[in-house]
Structure 1
Amino acid sequence: MAGPNRSDDLFDSILMADDRFRGEGYMEGFEEGERIGIIEGRCHGAVHGGKVASEVAFYYGFAFTWKCLLQNSTDVKAGKRLKTLETLIGMIQSFSHSDPASTTLQDDLDKVRSKFRQVCSLFSIPADFRQCFEHSGVSF
């Protein structure tokens, strides 16, 4: 015999079409999902990173302002307060903001938050500033 029957090839291509189309559809869907996932991941990272940066910047501005106000104070409590403020400022300045994949990022952020609460306690200021952030909006 000369070779395979042409009708067998035709039936094979028809019977295997389901498998071929399923495989092609899976690859197209996988590639599209990967592309959309990267876009959504970047958006989520930018939003979350912005929130963390705003929070840390608030703590820094708060601590720096109080440090400037207390530098020339002769109050007995001012020394302890200044030392705690300087510790908070040092923690913020050494905060790893250039490596978002850092394994210590969350731990460092928790330490900064804890130190901020300690500072607020020393000043008898409530440490919950969520109301300030919820009602303030920037409009241009």
Structure 2
Amino acid sequence: MIKTRDTSDVFDSVVLLDERLCQEGFQDGYKDGLVSGKEEGREVGLKMGFQVGEELGFYQGCLDVWNSLIQIDPGAFSSRLQKSIQQLGDLLGKYPLLDPENEDVQEMMDAIRLKFRIISANMGAKLEYKGYPKSSTQGMEDI
């Protein structure tokens, strides 16, 4: 009977050791995951933020050119088109650049893109944001 008891104690200690090592492994993995998750999140956020800023800059640049043309020649665009250009400016001005956690950013970007397409179509121009070929991916290939 003593042998059975000793065997039971050995198995209990093996089970306890296994559980303790699993817990330690989990804790180590969790800590490492937090660190690498933050780093990866920062890199992805930087890339996505750059792409959004680049696209918004494209639309703002077009808006600036159109507004300059309107100042030089107020009759260059119809009043309807001028109103659309002003609405695009309003949309761009309302975009929450300093509030990345705003839940409405995607809807706002969709509205900006739509307004831009409407203006381009009304001008008879084939303008489209395609992204700068090198800047959006340069140095971020591994992300």
Q: Shorter-normalised TM-score: what interval?
A: 0.7 to 0.9
Equivalent residue, structure 2, for 1:133: 132
On the 8 A contact 1:63/1:89 being kept in 2, the answer is: yes
Higher relative contact order (CA 8 A, sep 6+): 2
Equivalent residue, structure 1, for 2:100: 100
Paired with 1:62 and 1:129, the residues of 2 have a C-alpha distance of: 10
How many aligned residue pairs are there?
130
Paired with 1:126 and 1:73, the residues of 2 have a C-alpha distance of: 22
Equivalent residue, structure 2, for 1:50: 50
**Worse-superposed segment, 109-118 or 71-80:** 71-80
Equivalent residue, structure 2, for 1:4: none
Paired with 1:41 and 1:119, the residues of 2 have a C-alpha distance of: 36
| Structure 1 counterpart SS, 2:99 | coil
Note the residue ranges of structure 2 that are not aligned, 5 or more in a row: 1-5, 139-143
Equivalent residue, structure 2, for 1:83: 83
Paired with 1:86 and 1:49, the residues of 2 have a C-alpha distance of: 25
Query: How far apart are 1:129 and its partner, in Å?
Result: 3.4
Query: How far apart are 1:128 and its partner, in Å?
Result: 2.4
Paired with 2:88 and 2:82, the residues of 1 have a C-alpha distance of: 10
- What's the TM-score once normalised by structure 2's chain length? 0.78
Query: CA offsets, 1:64-112, max 9 Å, x none?
Result: 1111112242537432222211111111011111111111010001001
Paired with 2:84 and 2:40, the residues of 1 have a C-alpha distance of: 40
On the 8 A contact 1:70/1:78 being kept in 2, the answer is: no
Equivalent residue, structure 2, for 1:120: 120
Q: CA RMSD in A?
A: 2.5
On the 8 A contact 1:71/1:82 being kept in 2, the answer is: no
- What's the TM-score once normalised by structure 1's chain length? 0.80
Superposition misfits of 4+ residues, deviation over 6 angstroms: none
Give the percent of matched residue pairs that are identical in Structure 1 and Structure 2: 25
Query: How far apart are 1:33 and its partner, in Å?
Result: 1.0
